[in-house]
Amino acid sequence: MSHGTFGTAINCMDGRVQLPVIAWMKATYQLDYVDMITEPGPDKVLAEGSAAQLAALCAKVEISVKKHGSRVIAVAGHSDCAGNPVGKEEHCQHIARALEGVRSWGYDVQVVGLWIGEDWQVQVLTC
């Protein structure tokens, strides 16, 4: 087990959303580290991806949870996403389905959906 407290973010590869998500997760959950699992449009991949894509993401999350002791998993979507170029409402639908899928993986951790708007501020989604 690694030293320090970990969380996991399934986040877009877009560099603009990395630091806001890391800072928010560290502050909100009192974490030392945030493992980043990045993918273009990860909310859409988790909601509509192939079995192979989902298995690859699950395997990465498993390392974070089992080896680093991650205690929270965030699924993030953001405005102006090149990998999932849809509006906030559709991102919200994708994130809601993504959260169901991540929860079905059976890890005993909190799972939360995040939205990063045009102002690059992180909001918890309740959709």
pLDDT digits (tens, 9 = 90+) for 26-80: 999 999 999 999 999 999 999 999 999 999 999 999 999 999 999 999 999 999 9
Q: Please, what is the average pLDDT of the chain?
A: 95
Tell me, letter by letter, the H, E, C secondary structure of 2-64. CCCCEEEEEEECCHHHHHHHHHHHHHHHCCCEEEEEEECCHHHHHHHCCHHHHHHHHHHHHHH
For the chain, domain boundaries: 6-124
For residue 114, what pLDDT is reported? 97
Q: What percent of the chain has pLDDT over 90?
A: 95
Q: Is the pLDDT of residue 102 over 70?
A: yes
Q: Is the pLDDT of residue 103 over 90?
A: yes
The predicted pLDDT at position 3 comes to: 80
The CATH architecture annotation of domain 6-124 reads 3-Layer(aba) Sandwich (3.40)
Q: Quote the tokens at residue 125.
A: 């989604």
pTM summary value: 0.94
In this structure, the strands spanning 72-78 and 33-39 are unpaired
